[in-house]
Amino acid sequence: MRIDLHTHSSVSDGTETPAQLVRTAAAAGLDVVALTDHDTTGGWAAAAEARPAGLTVVPGMELSCRWFGPDQPPTSVHLLAYLFDPDAPALSAERARLRDERLGRGERIVEALAADGHPVVWAEIVEASAGGVVGRPHIARALVRAGVVESVDAAFASLLSHRSPYYVSKADTDVLQGIALVRAAGGVPVFAHGLATKRGRVVGDDAIAAMAAAGLLGLEVDHPDHSEEERRHLRGLAAELGLLVTGSSDYHGTNKTTPIAACTTDPEQFEALLAAGTGSAPFRD
Ligand code: AMP
Ligand code: FE
Ligand code: FE
Ligand code: ZN
Predicted local confidence at residue 198, as pLDDT = 82
CB-ligand 1 contact for 41 (6 Å cutoff): no
Are 135 and 38 contacting, i.e. CB atoms less than 8 angstroms apart?
yes
**Sign of the four-CA dihedral 214, 240, 234, 197:** positive
Measure 152 CA to ligand 2 centroid, in angstroms: 12
Element (H, E) at 29: none
Stretches in the chain below the pLDDT threshold 50 = none
Measure 272 CA to ligand 3 centroid, in angstroms: 22
CA distance linking residue 50 with residue 139, whole number of Å: 29
Our mutation pick for probing the ligand 1 site, out of 39, 156, 168, 225, counting the most ligand atoms within 8 A of Cβ, is 156
Are 208 and 241 contacting, i.e. CB atoms less than 8 angstroms apart?
yes
CB-ligand 1 contact for 101 (6 Å cutoff): no
CB-ligand 1 contact for 12 (6 Å cutoff): no
Measure 40 CA to ligand 4 centroid, in angstroms: 12
Its pTM stands at: 0.97
Give phi and psi for 135, each to the nearest 5: -140, 180
Residues making up the chain, counted from first to last = 285
Cα-based distances in Å from 208 to 123, 211, 262: 39, 5, 25
Element (H, E) at 7: strand 3-7
Residue range 194-205, pLDDT digits in tens: 999 988 899 999
Predicted local confidence at residue 6, as pLDDT = 98
Cα-based distances in Å from 213 to 79, 172, 217, 236, 246: 15, 20, 10, 17, 19
CB-ligand 1 contact for 256 (6 Å cutoff): yes
% of the chain with per-residue pLDDT over 70: 100
Predicted local confidence at residue 280, as pLDDT = 98
pLDDT, the chain, mean: 97
Beta-carbon count within 10 A of 276 CB: 17
Cα-based distances in Å from 149 to 81, 112, 115, 164, 179: 34, 16, 17, 14, 37
Give the pairing of strands 32-35 and 173-174.
Answer: unpaired
Residue range 139-167, pLDDT digits in tens: 999 999 999 999 999 999 999 999 999 99
Residue nearest to atom 20 of ligand 1 (CA): 153
